[in-house]
Chain A
Amino acid sequence: MIDAEKHKMNNKKFTLRRFGKLNGVSTWTIPVVLLVVLFIFSFVMGRYPISPLNVVKILGSHILPVFHFNSGILDTIVMQIRLPRILAAMIVGASLALSGVSFQGLFRNPLVSPDILGVSSGAGFGAALAILLSGNQLAIQVSAFCFALLAVGISYSIGKMVKGNPTLSLILAGMAIASLFGALLSLVKYVADPVNQLPAITYWLMGSLASVGQKGLLYAAVPMLIGITVLILIRWRFNVLAMGEEEAKALGVDTGRLRIIIVVCCTMITASAVCISGTIGWVGLVIPHIGRALVGPDHKKLLPVCLLIGAIFLLLIDDIARVVASVEIPIGILTAIVGIPFFILLLRKGQRGWA
């Protein structure tokens, strides 16, 4: 008994799970509260001053018709301008984090990010091509989405053709296809008009939530929510997959089918995220590591936690992007500048192997 207690103590010392066991407070309380507070707070951020109380009133008036709020301008700012952007930041952050943690679980590799199979490169090329052909906002998004799917589709087919370790061949195929679309992107940049098109392409690649509108968000949210729901539902299976291809099979898992489900869901949510926000790096790689430091490697807890932290992280970053300078800073730049020092701190404090 004493022995068992000692082991428990040791275990606590090694992981940062204190967070999850703070005097009986559930693991979820802190991130959920943080997200809600940040959500309200994000409406306050911006040029036009709005008090938090008014934010709650306006939001309330749309949920329950009991509240009445008569201010056309404030209502427009909150509902038409700030709400889509805040929702977009949350869902994009959650999507990237979730597909990151899913891919890391699927490939059993901590260095994997959502764009390992070429999603971002495909989307980048698609968007650049649409800009080159003078497409409008919708054309850019659709083209980015289609080429993202195409890139992953090609990676997956090549990975299937190669014999041997299926996860390894998939990663190798993904790297090759990502490089290919990277080269094609360079070609588009090379031929693009350097006055108008090239800056537009460059800006898109840096990532931004500034141009997200209600409609675009609505279209992108559907595939994202479907993908997120499926991944959350099958999350325990990641623990089985983590045992390795052969052992998972011996435990009755149809690994081939599960791999397809995961790749399709991750691709769907990442491609949708990328097509409304541009390429935002780092979130999908770093959030899973933060999640693991908080709740440990059990995917049953890890996936929901990553979903929450991803949403919090990108919402926070987007707030900073909006208010810190007089000109908006591209969000892709900020995620790295803010995320990397935090990640290094975590690595230093973290426990073993998988941060």
Chain B
Amino acid sequence: MNLTVCDASFHYDSTGNSGFKDVNFSLNDGQVMTILGPNGCGKTTLLKCLNRLTELHRGSITLDDQDISRLPRTLIAKSIGYVPQLHQPAFPFSVLDTVLVGRAPHLGLLESPSQQDMEIAEQSLKTMGIYHLKDKSYTQISGGERQLVIFARVLAQQPSLLLLDEPTSHLDFGNQIRLLHEVKKLAATGLPIIMTSHFPDHVFMVSDIVAIMKEGVFIDCGQPDEIITESNMQRVYGIPVNIHYVDGPVKRKICIPVTE
């Protein structure tokens, strides 16, 4: 699966989506790309455009040489899985029912999940290590567990590309790291993943490519070690940081804010 974004632009609109301009990048199998940038810089809007939840105003997005603006919605949903920032279902569905919903793109309007769909959903719960929550109500589990459930749902969708909007934002420290491990494991199976984040350290941990976005523009894009620099961080977030390489079992760079 290859995703290519060419000169993509979106103007700010009345529904509150912030805009972006002339975005270009390409992603291949097994690559993890993180989009880093301050609040309201257009990260979420860009993700929504990649999934055609919102239409681009200019430019193109192609999925294996097919322009997504010409693909029917079911076909996009079969290829692209999307995990939104906040997920609040209106009903206290059981965890299994929530995950089963991920089978929707594979089912016709009049169909409901078969035994096979049930097995796929159960398998995704097992993959995420939350099979024991199967019959629990979605409203009875913790925020971290919910995020894992939504992850299981997107796995049940069996997409060939994943879009994650700040997947770690509502998780505690331990769950953040656990989730990043899952992201890495999924990428290792060949699934390309695009996620947005607020944490430079997370980028060092899982990303192959990072894009830094400010006011709707990619100001830099490439390998994390080259892109996440003290000067770039200062430029985007307006705070001084130190970036160090940590040896030993860690073997990666870390980003530390400088405080007086």
Interface residues of A, Cβ cutoff 8 Å to B = 3-4, 7-8, 10-11, 14-15, 105, 108-109, 163-164, 233-237, 239-240, 242-244, 246-254, 258, 292, 296-298, 300, 351-354
Contact = CB atoms under 8 A, between A and B. Distances in A.
A28 to B, nearest CB: 16
Contacts of A296: 92-94
Interface stretch (B18-26, B29-37, B97-105, B213-221): B97-105
Contacts of B137: 11, 14-15, 352
B136 A253 contact: no
A195 B247 CA distance: 95
Contacts of A253: 73, 77, 104
A7 B102 contact: no
A7 B53 contact: no
Interface of B: 14-15, 48, 51, 53, 73-78, 80-82, 84, 87-94, 97-98, 100-102, 104-105, 107, 109-113, 131-137, 139-140, 157
Candidate in A14, A235, A237, A252 with the most chain B CB atoms within 10 angstroms: A252
Contact of A352 (B73, B80, B111, B139): B139
A250 B91 contact: no
Given A235-B112, A237-B109, A252 B76 contact: yes
Given A4-B134, A242-B91, 12 more contacts: A10-B136, A11-B140, A14-B137, A108-B91, A235-B112, A242-B90, A243-B87, A243-B101, A244-B89, A248-B104, A297-B91, A352-B92
B92 A254 contact: no
A250 B51 contact: yes
Contacts of A164: 15
A249 B112 contact: no
A236 B113 contact: yes
26 contacts: A3-B132, A4-B131, A105-B91, A108-B91, A163-B15, A234-B110, A237-B109, A243-B87, A243-B101, A244-B88, A248-B104, A250-B51, A251-B104, A251-B157, A252-B78, A252-B105, A253-B77, A292-B91, A297-B91, A298-B93, A298-B97, A300-B112, A352-B137, A353-B139, A354-B90, A354-B91
A252 B94 CA distance: 22
A75 B36 CA distance: 79
Given A14-B140, A244-B89, A252-B73, A7 B110 contact: no
A3 B130 CA distance: 11
Contacts of A351: 92
Nearest to A245: B53
Contact of B105 (A3, A7, A251, A258): A251
Contacts of A236: 107, 111-113
Contacts of A242: 89-91, 93
B151 to A, nearest CB: 13
Contacts of A243: 87, 89, 98, 101
Nearest to A246: B53
Contacts of A247: 82, 84, 87
A239 B113 CA distance: 11
B164 to A, nearest CB: 12
Contacts of B105: 251-252
